């Protein structure tokens, strides 16, 4: 069932792309700075975090600003895609009633739109990392692989949350708070080495950690991710995509009755 539905999504890939592109363009419509906001927002957050951690908490991470950027960029994609996808079905009910498209196109288009934003943001900021550490150019294929796995992970989670939010509206209400909590328990602006040893086992259950840590290794440190992080990235991408699609397919027949 899952494989058959993946094939159907591929068949409607053009519709998915056009919807994603439309959402991406609408994001910057009538904006003077346009796609530059894909970089400006993370940079502003980076500056605030850098001030707090360097001058208040006295963090001892060399080139801390770049370290934060390597984690905050993927987090912005993750949180933005998840929030938009969660409300995608409820917010676009007319499309479901007017067009005969696979219903999962709606949350997936939100994820793809945010991924485009993520991509253009990296096009602007990546040269800075190359200037800071030229050898990361050699790891570009790894960067692409991590990004694809992260994309599939977010797709699966978005599919599940988008359909569950139709039946349990509290999910949408809690999404912002839960993402804020999730941010603080994910090593985005602090390293795993800074976590006390007795608490590190908790991070094995955080599915975002392998992706954030992999970005930090590849982009900031210029190293290959370790084996456990690589396995975790593949594992969570597979689990998220298959289970998310299964949840969506299990409930989709009841969607129109609940919106």
Alpha-carbon distance 109 to 107, whole Å? 5
Query: What's residue 99's pLDDT?
Result: 67
The Cα 176–Cα 50 span in angstroms is 23
pLDDT at 112: 94
Which is more confidently placed, 61 or 170? 170
Check if the beta carbon of residue 166 is closer than 8 Å to that of residue 92: no
* Residue for token pair 């991924």: 115
pLDDT of 53 above 70: yes
Residue from 97, 64, 81, 102 nearest 27 by CA: 81
Give the range of the structural domain holding residue 231, as residue numbers without chain letter: 2-258
Q: What is the mean pLDDT of the chain?
A: 86
Q: How far is residue 136's CA from residue 118's CA, in Å, rounded to a whole number?
A: 19
Grouping H, G, I as helix, E, B as strand and the rest as coil, residue 34 is helix
* Residues 155, 157, 161: CA angle, nearest 5 degrees: 115
Q: Is 198 exposed, middle or buried (0-12, 13-18, 19+ CB in 10 A)?
A: exposed
Over residues 127-138, the pLDDT tens digits come to 888 888 888 999
Q: pLDDT by residue (tens digit) across 175-224?
A: 888 999 999 889 888 888 778 888 778 888 899 999 999 999 999 988 89
> How far apart (Å, rounded) are the C-alpha atoms in residues 37 and 23?
15
What Å distances lie between residue 214 and 23, 134, 138, 211, 234, CA to CA? 29, 18, 15, 5, 12
pLDDT category of residue 160 using cuts at 50, 70 and 90: very high
Query: Number of folded domains in the chain?
Result: 1
For 225-255, write each residue's pLDDT tens digit: 889 899 999 999 999 999 998 999 888 877 7
């Amino acid at each position: 069932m899952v494989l058959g539905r993946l094939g159907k999504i591929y068949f409607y890939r053009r519709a998915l792309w056009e919807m994603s592109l439309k959402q991406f363009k609408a994001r910057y419509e009538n904006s003077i700075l346009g796609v530059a906001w894909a970089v400006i927002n993370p940079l502003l957050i980076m500056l605030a975090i850098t001030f707090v951690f360097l001058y208040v908490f006295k963090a001892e991470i060399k080139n801390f600003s770049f370290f934060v950027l390597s984690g905050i960029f993927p987090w912005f994609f993750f949180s933005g895609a998840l929030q938009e996808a969660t409300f995608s079905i409820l917010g676009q009910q007319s499309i479901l009633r007017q067009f005969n498209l696979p219903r999962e196109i709606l949350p997936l288009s939100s994820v793809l739109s945010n991924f485009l934003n993520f991509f253009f943001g990296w096009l602007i900021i990546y040269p800075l990392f190359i200037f800071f550490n030229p050898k990361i150019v050699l790891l570009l294929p790894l960067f692409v692989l991590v990004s694809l796995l992260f994309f599939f992970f977010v797709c699966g989670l978005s599919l599940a949350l988008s359909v569950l939010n139709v039946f349990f509206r509290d999910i949408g209400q809690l999404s912002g708070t839960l993402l804020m909590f999730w941010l603080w328990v994910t090593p985005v602006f602090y390293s795993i080495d800074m976590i006390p040893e007795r608490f590190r086992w908790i991070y094995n259950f955080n599915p975002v950690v392998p992706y954030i840590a992999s970005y930090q290794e590849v982009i900031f440190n210029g190293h290959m991710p370790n084996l456990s992080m690589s396995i975790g990235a593949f594992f969570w991408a597979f689990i998220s995509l298959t289970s998310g699609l299964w949840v969506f397919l299990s409930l989709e027949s009841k969607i129109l009755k609940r919106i």
